[in-house]
Chain A
Amino acid sequence: MSQSKDNQTFDPFDPTGMLKQMRDSNMESWSKIMTDFVNTEAYAESTGAMLDAWLTTSGPFRKAMESALAQAMAQLNMPTRDDITRLAERLTNIEMRLDDLDARLSEPSKSDNTQPTN
């Protein structure tokens, strides 16, 4: 698709041609500027602060939503997310016990090594 043109005329079959020329001449410097920018202390601080602010302010709303949903689910006799989570944790514990049992059963027992004598 790329039809590089030396002249600056608009090619209807390559509508992105002008953009490409801009990109090719500026991409490296854009990249360097942006990479330097995101590595500044100011960027790190502002990102951290914004993230913290968003999490802190959205926290109460999220809590209210969760609590309302939990109540609604309880009214409908349906398990809540917490119920499912607790169940999943228990299942994982059971899986671990089974895994240990499986490992024990898979071990060649010592009696297998003793050949019966006739």
Chain B
Amino acid sequence: MTTKESPQAVDAGMPSFTELCQNWHRAAENLDRFNRMLTTDAKIAQTPKEVVWTLNKAKLYHYVPVVPEQDRKPVPLFMVFAIMNRPHVLDLRPGHSFVEYMLRHGYELYLLDWGEPGPEDKNMCFDDYVLEYLPRAIRKFKSVSGAQEFSMLGWCLGALISTMYAALRPDDGLKNLLLLTAPLDFSDQEAGGFTRWSSNPAFNANTIVEKLGNVPGEMIDTGAKMLKPIENYFGSYSMLWDKIENPGTVEAWHAMNTWVRDIIPMAGGAYKQLINEFYKENKLMKGTMQLRGETVDLKKLKANLLNVIAEADHITPPCQSEAVMDAVGSEDKEVLRVRGGHIGIMAGRGAEKNTWPHIEAWLAERSGT
């Protein structure tokens, strides 16, 4: 096959044998690196911490402070993550970690990791998370830290759990409540893929739980990815290939992918409750949500509130987080809208410039004695 050389090719000249070899070598290296990124785990969640409490699969971590005691904020921060993911995204990698950032700013940090539910936990529901596990973890946290007042940060379903706890136990010392991408209001049944799917009569959460017990992580992961199939199944990998020679981008992608791949099941009872009582019936906002016979009245939530909303969130659309501002009894409340997605607002490239400083500034004002 003969090809007519274009003028540009003549200008550029034919590559030498050495250049050819170097190019092929580079291509092979890139392919190898790409493969490693997909099949290996990055080192994530490396900030030093100690376990101070365990119950069943749940663990409470205390991060080792990095500033002298006299420079630390008197009000510690207690972090609650979602129940169907690992919480490592809060401490993704050295140099890009919310945990590291907050430690540097003098906060005492505690993190509640719900752990991976086993078959014996299939009946665990929000009643247990909110009124059994969380109060016990907080009891221990207060005992260890010696603090009577504390701040709590809840992300995604962790925010839902934190909100219900704050409403049910308003006098437990909770001073500041930070909600990140909180799915609380499901009145708009057209907003977001999850709401559309779960509100369809053909979707039966009871059958899923009855047949499977805990909902497999793969099912939840697939559901989340199918909300944006092209980006998640194609765009993410093609972006990695494009930037394969950029160590910073590759490292960031690898860390995030490690966290994304580490999927865990969701307790069946909680899943059933989430779909039926929250997504379908919107009980929390209607004021009819009951946990162990106690009605969750959001008006009783008195803590200072910062509600962080991701404007491009396809998992928790902004409308699911907005209405809580009028429902709570807090006098000091603020909404922070951030450009980005469900995870990106806290773990993306812009988080360190946009989200974290705002959260820290808001908290610093309210973390004095």
Contacts and interface: CB of A to CB of B under 8 A. Distances in A.
B120 A88 contact: yes
Interface in A14-67: 14, 16, 19-20, 23, 27, 30-31, 34-35, 38-39, 41, 44-49, 51-52, 55-56, 58-59, 62
A107 B143 CA distance: 8
A85 interface: yes
B226 interface: yes
Given A31-B228, A44-B196, A88-B120, A1 B208 contact: no
Interface SS, A side: helix
Interface stretch (B156-164, B230-238, B263-271, B281-289): B230-238
A16 B56 CA distance: 49
Contacts of B120: 84-86, 88-89, 92
A13 B199 CA distance: 49
A115 interface: no
A18 B208 CA distance: 43
Contacts of A16: 241
B27 A1 contact: yes
Contact of B202 (A13, A49, A92): A49
Nearest to A56: B207
Contacts of B197: 44, 47-48
B358 interface: no
A52 B229 contact: no
A38 B203 CA distance: 14
Interface residues of A, number: 45
B231 A31 contact: yes
Contacts of B23: 13
A84 B119 CA distance: 9
B245 A20 contact: no
Contact of B200 (A45, A55, A56, A84): A45
B30 A1 contact: yes
Contacts of B54: 95
Given A39-B196, A44-B203, A92-B120, A20 B227 contact: no
Contacts of B193: 38-39
B241 A1 contact: yes
A48 B119 contact: no
A73 interface: no
Interface of B: 6, 8, 23-24, 26-27, 30, 53-56, 118-120, 132, 136, 139-140, 143, 193, 196-197, 199-204, 207-208, 211-212, 226-231, 234-235, 238, 241-242, 244-245, 314
29 contacts: A1-B242, A1-B245, A9-B6, A13-B24, A13-B27, A14-B27, A16-B241, A20-B238, A27-B235, A31-B228, A31-B230, A35-B227, A38-B229, A39-B193, A41-B200, A44-B197, A44-B200, A47-B197, A47-B202, A48-B200, A48-B201, A48-B202, A48-B203, A48-B204, A51-B203, A51-B208, A52-B202, A55-B212, A106-B143
